[in-house]
């Protein structure tokens, strides 16, 4: 069977936060994997997972599962992606990778389906899924860029604990319970419980942390604006799911807040919730479990001649990872179906 006609889908990292969200998202979209192969480490082998009403067994990671695969989703660790994504792609599978390893690699498309799906060509078969904070910002900035031009972006993130994986989320929950029981005294100042941490990721260049550098570089690549000035400050906050972003932009042309509200409200993948009088705005809790990127607090910033300030929230496990990855697979599936009709 050619890779194009295969419907075999392999998920590496099936027991993680993103992997679990990919399984739930695949249930909702007409991708119909046949078979769906779920893989994780040896310790998770034989775990049972439900997919469309059927109980499925998680297998220990084995790269021979890539044989005849149509799509392989990677949602494991960076090192695993680095070694095995090229192997899976070399076997003819479309590889959609959630790690940071290939995102900035020349020739590897970094794709948000609402923004740049056309960058998926017949090759390479390796496609990078962007960082969670980048996806939601790119979805919102793209229509603004097209209509008003974009001169600079200043963004501060309020990133939930789930963005750092299941172990980090579990640690936050343990620390929170301990603080409530015993008081704050025993907790290290670097614990996220009842705290905010302005140092997300590893130390990078010029006093920036890696999460900030990822956001800045990935945004430029996705929007196709290599020289766009972007300044990101990434902050981890003790929410469970859903990343918030406070954004200030300078535009080329004047952008009236009402006009931007209408524009964003009509754009794919965006929901505007912006009721100043009623104080109705997006929050991480509201965005959890939702597909859309939510925008509110749209207003003039009052610091550049043409500017805007606004607040963006999305479910980091869905649009920030699993949903975006599945939408990429769906785009490929639809393109292949159209090609088969013309064969
Ligand atoms: N969390 C987010 O919001 C988010 C957003 C965008 C991108 N990402 C990226 O998505 C990836 C997964 O993130 P996550 O939050 O889901 O992490 P996670 O909850 O820690 O899950 C990691 C998954 O990878 C599996 N795994 C680890 N090492 C493996 C190995 N050697 N062989 C096979 N499977 C292995 C784990 O299996 P076991 O359960 O058996 O250990 C688990 O299923 C990461 O690259 C992350 O940077 C995450």
Helix runs in the chain, H state only: 17-28, 78-90, 132-148, 166-182, 210-223, 257-265, 284-287, 323-342
Does residue 188 carry a pLDDT above 50? Answer: yes
Query: Which candidate in 118, 196, 243, 342 is catalytic?
Result: 243
Query: Residue 342, Cα to own-chain centre: how many angstroms?
Result: 33
Instruction: Kindly state if the Cβ of 242 falls inside 6 Å of ligand 1.
Output: no
Q: Which atom of ligand 1 is nearest to 17's Cα? A: 16
CA 122 to ligand 1 centroid distance, Å: 28
Known catalytic residue at 118: no
Rounded CA-CA distance 267/269 in Å is 6
Instruction: Kindly state if the Cβ of 20 falls inside 6 Å of ligand 1.
Output: no
pLDDT tens for each residue of 60-99:
999 999 999 999 999 999 999 999 999 999 999 999 999 9
Look over the chain and give the mean of its residue pLDDT values, rounded to a whole number: 96
pLDDT-derived band at 4 (thresholds 50, 70, 90) equals low
Q: Judging by DSSP bridges, how do beta strands 270-272 and 94-97 pair with one another?
A: unpaired
Instruction: Kindly state if the Cβ of 75 falls inside 6 Å of ligand 1.
Output: yes
pLDDT tens for each residue of 261-304:
999 999 999 999 999 999 999 999 999 999 999 999 999 999 99
Percentage, residues of the chain above pLDDT 90: 94
Average pLDDT over residues 315-337: 97
**For the chain, what is the largest distance between any 2 Cα atoms, rounded to a whole number of angstroms?**
69
pLDDT-derived band at 341 (thresholds 50, 70, 90) equals confident
User: How open is the CA angle 21-24-29, to the nearest 5 degrees?
Assistant: 120
CA 11 to ligand 1 centroid distance, Å: 11
Instruction: Kindly state if the Cβ of 162 falls inside 6 Å of ligand 1.
Output: yes
Nearest to 254 by CA among 189, 323, 306: 306
Helix H, strand E, coil C: the string for 237-283 is CCCCCCEEEEEEEEECCCCCHHHHHHHHHCCCCEEECCECCCCECCC
Predicted TM-score (pTM) of this structure: 0.97
């Amino acid at each position: 069977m050619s890779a194009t006609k295969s419907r075999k889908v392999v998920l590496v990292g099936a027991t993680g936060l993103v992997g679990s969200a990919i399984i739930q998202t695949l249930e909702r979209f007409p991708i119909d994997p046949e078979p769906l192969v779920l893989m994780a480490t040896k310790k998770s082998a034989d775990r049972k997972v439900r997919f469309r009403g059927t109980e499925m067994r998680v297998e220990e990671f084995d790269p021979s599962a890539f044989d005849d695969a149509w799509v392989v989703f990677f949602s494991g660790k960076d090192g695993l992606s680095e070694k095995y994504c090229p192997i899976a792609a070399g076997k003819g599978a479309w590889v959609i990778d959630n790690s940071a390893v290939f995102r900035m690699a020349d020739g590897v498309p970094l794709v948000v389906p609402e923004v740049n799906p056309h960058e998926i060509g017949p090759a390479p078969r390796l496609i990078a899924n962007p960082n969670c904070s980048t996806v939601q910002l790119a979805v919102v900035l793209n229509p603004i860029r097209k209509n008003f031009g974009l001169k600079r972006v200043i963004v501060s993130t309020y990133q939930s604990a789930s963005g750092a994986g299941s172990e980090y989320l579990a640690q936050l929950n343990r620390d929170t319970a301990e603080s409530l029981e015993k008081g704050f005294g025993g907790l290290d100042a670097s614990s996220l419980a009842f705290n905010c941490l302005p140092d997300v990721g590893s130390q990078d260049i010029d006093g920036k942390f890696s999460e900030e550098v990822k956001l800045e570089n990935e945004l430029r690549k996705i929007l196709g604006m290599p020289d766009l000035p972007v300044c990101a400050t990434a902050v981890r906050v003790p929410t469970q799911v859903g990343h918030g972003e406070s954004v200030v932009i300078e535009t080329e042309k004047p952008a009236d807040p009402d006009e931007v509200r209408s524009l964003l409200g009509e754009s794919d993948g965006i929901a505007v919730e912006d009721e100043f009088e009623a104080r109705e705005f997006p929050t991480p809790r509201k965005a959890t479990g939702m597909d859309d990127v939510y925008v509110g607090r749209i207003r003039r910033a009052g610091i550049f001649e043409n500017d805007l300030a606004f607040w963006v929230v999305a479910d980091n496990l869905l649009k920030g990872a699993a949903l975006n990855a599945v939408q990429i697979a769906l785009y490929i599936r639809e393109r292949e179906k159209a090609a088969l009709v013309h064969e």
